[in-house]
Amino acid sequence: MTNVDTLQAQPRARAAVNRNQCLVELRHISKTFGGIQAVEDVSLSLYPGEVVAVLGHNGAGKSTLMKMLAGAYPIDSGEVLIKGRKVHVRTPAEAQRQGIETIYQTLALADNLDAVANLFLGRELLTRWNTLDDLRMDADARKVFQRLNKNFKNYHTPVRRLSGGQRQVVAISRAIYFNAQILIMDEPTAALGPEESAMVAQLIEQLKAEGVGIFLISHDMHDVFALSDRLAVMKNGQLVGTYRTHDVTEDEVLGMIIAGRKPADRVQAMRLAA
Amino acid sequence: MNQVLHGIQQSAIDWRMALMTSVLVLITVIFNILSDGVFFSPENLYNIAQQTAVVGILSSVMVLIIVARHIDLSVGAVMGFVGMLMAFLMYSAHWSWPAASLAGLAAAMAVYLYQGALTSLIGVPSFVVTLGGLMSFRGAAYLVSSGKTQPLTDPFFLSLGGGYNGGIGSTASWVLGLLLCAGIVFARVTNRRAKQRYEAPVHALWLDSVLALIPCALVIGLVLVMNAYHIPNKDDAQGLPVPVLIWGGVALCMAFLVRRTRFGRYIFAMGGNPDAAALVGIPVRRVTLLLFMLLAVLVTIAAMVAISRLNAGTSSLGNSLELLVIAATVIGGTALAGGTGSIVGSVLGALIMQCIDSGMLLLDVSIGTRYVVIGQILIVAVVFDVAYRKWTGDVQQ
């Protein structure tokens, strides 16, 4: 198992992670798009070192909810608390400053730029003359890519020429390098082969061990049950329920996704441990 | 041999640029043969160089506009308006040339703040905004002096456009050329050292040497040719024409912006994937607005060179210039879809177009035929571009 610490800009101080401090608390979040209620009064929390799967049909509002946390969409009403402090994430840059990193399903890569430029896009390292410090970025990027995938050598070809797995490495490397504390992963394994999916699963385990909180949007039931600690199901913009993953069965989850039916005799869990 | 081949493949040599340079050389050689050696005469080359400057200055910024998925159809009209305004202030209002130039810059900034804000803040497609601008500012160029031509007399200002007193002389040309060469070599050496410090792979020494020597040879060659142009009743040779120096300075600055600054990188990122650019936190609107401000500065510079070349401001200044600028940019390998383009390409594109135009003029080809040919060359360039991208796998199918 590789050590993620050595990849980061500043190694995370493990002792500083207080596992009982709620990392993210979304309170009564709502959002409408031109009269359509995309997200309605959703409350959800995330603790350090846990993976919360966010499930639902296409259009259930899960991506919209996550994009609001990532600063890509403005929030109509509701509050976001990061480590107990109320924050406003109006832009992606503000979300990044709060330690929120997002790996979008589309990967959000500039296809005409190379892997190094994409890793640092929007947060380039600069020399003291405020010009791009390409050599330092190259050297740092090399280390991150090497750890994530030893075969990754195409640092300087436009990422459009890379394979799906390699593109995913570039997108993930952003979250690693910039020391994510809160990670949003939108369908991280949808475009990947089995080997690369295993790499992502291993990475999630490592990040959990480091105390990173992860929101995982996925359609893949296998991934959800293998990787998540809790799961939240959304339907028509509303939250159906939040449960510990090992408390529910796959059928019950499907029932929530498809019919919005809460499973009988199950206790909702706002956090993993009591 | 294999090692050499590998070195070449790994090198930063852009094959597309190499090919374009070959095309340029081929075109000029053909014209030289057809014109019995007149094309390569220092006088002709001097004229071509200074004639290309205005289109070259504008296409170096048009590259960035098109890379960012915008377009500016109003460059020619705004240049006409700004140039006319500056000439009017100098001739009719008796302003000094620095004051008039600053006023021109302010006007250009206002024009592009307006057009840039409509594009970046409100989201009106730049095609429409600048199409309107093309008509409005063509009209404004007429309104400045009710269409009356404004002659210019300031000797310093007139040297900006080249011409009789527009060369810097042989000594200054040599000094400048050698300084430039020293700069090129210095930049290569520092880059190589820095790479070694970071243990990044470096090119073979011979390859780095060649990569430094080629631009040096070009600079020396340019100085030699320009110093060979001697107007009979003058003591000294012409040397490098001022408009070419301005163009060179502009191109260097733009290349610096593209390669070494966040601004340049963001423009390419926005062109490659606008959604991704916004999602990673690039301030897309601000960068777009800044880009239009940069355009304003370069349009002002181009206007100064253009009116000085004409020795006057006329209301037809810059008529259909936007077409030449966009054509030069596209011939230079900038994709209209955005995301790809280079400053060197814009220089080559402008030169290719001007050489073809001047060459045909030299051969007494009629204006109609010249337009037909240049139009078709634009098509050839785009067909080549599409084929090249398919070949390199940059587009599917």
pLDDT over 70 at A274, yes or no: no
- pLDDT, one tens digit per residue, over B358-368 is 999 999 999 99
Annotation: CATH topology of B17-166+241-390: ABC transporter involved in vitamin B12 uptake, BtuC (1.10.3470)
Nearest to B281 among A92, A104, A131 (CB): A92
Residues 6+ apart with CB under 8 A from B328: B55, B56, B59, B62, B346, B349, B350, B352, B353
Cβ–Cβ below 8 Å for B276 and A121:
yes
Q: Which two tokens stand for residue B66?
A: 């098109």
Contacts of A161 in chain B (CB under 8 A): 393-394
pLDDT over 50 at B98, yes or no: yes
Cβ–Cβ below 8 Å for A92 and B271:
no
Reported ipTM: the value is 0.88
Residue A272: what residue type? Answer: L
The proportion of chain B whose per-residue pLDDT surpasses 70, expressed as a percent, equals: 95
Mean pLDDT of chain B: 91
Which value, in Å, is the radius of gyration of the alpha carbons in chain B? Answer: 22
From residue B335, alpha-carbon distances to A229, B137, B254 in Å are 48, 27, 18
Helix (H, G, I), strand (E, B) or coil at A156: coil
Contacts of B283 in chain A (CB under 8 A): 93
Q: Which two tokens stand for residue B345?
A: 């390409």
CB B181 within 8 A of CB B213: no
Mutation target to probe the B interface, by most B beta carbons within 10 A, among A96, A130, A134 is: A134
Q: Is B192 on the interface with A (CB under 8 A)?
A: no
Residues 6+ apart with CB under 8 A from B217: none
Cβ–Cβ below 8 Å for B273 and A111:
yes
pTM of the model: 0.91
Cβ–Cβ below 8 Å for A112 and B339:
yes
Q: Which domains does chain A have, with CATH numbers?
A: 4-11+19-113+181-259 (3.40.50.300)
pLDDT (0 to 100) of residue B372 = 93
- pLDDT, one tens digit per residue, over B287-312 is 999 999 999 999 999 999 999 999 99
Contacts of A172 in chain B (CB under 8 A): none
- pLDDT, one tens digit per residue, over B103-157 is 999 999 999 999 999 999 999 999 999 999 999 999 999 999 999 999 999 999 9
Q: CA A65, A72, A182 angle in degrees (round to 5)?
A: 65
- pLDDT, one tens digit per residue, over A168-221 is 889 999 988 998 999 999 988 887 888 888 888 989 999 999 899 999 998 888
Domain ranges of chain B: 17-166+241-390, 168-240
Cβ–Cβ below 8 Å for B394 and A136:
no
pLDDT (0 to 100) of residue A1 = 38
Q: CA B94, B99, B103 angle in degrees (round to 5)?
A: 105
Rounded average pLDDT over B30-59: 94
Rounded average pLDDT over A77-101: 93
The count of residues in chain B is 397
- pLDDT, one tens digit per residue, over B163-189 is 888 889 999 999 999 999 999 999 999
Cβ–Cβ below 8 Å for A111 and B269:
no
- pLDDT, one tens digit per residue, over B193-249 is 988 888 877 888 888 898 899 999 999 999 999 999 988 888 888 999 999 999 999
pLDDT (0 to 100) of residue A11 = 46
Contacts of B276 in chain A (CB under 8 A): 106-110, 121
Q: Is A86 on the interface with B (CB under 8 A)?
A: no
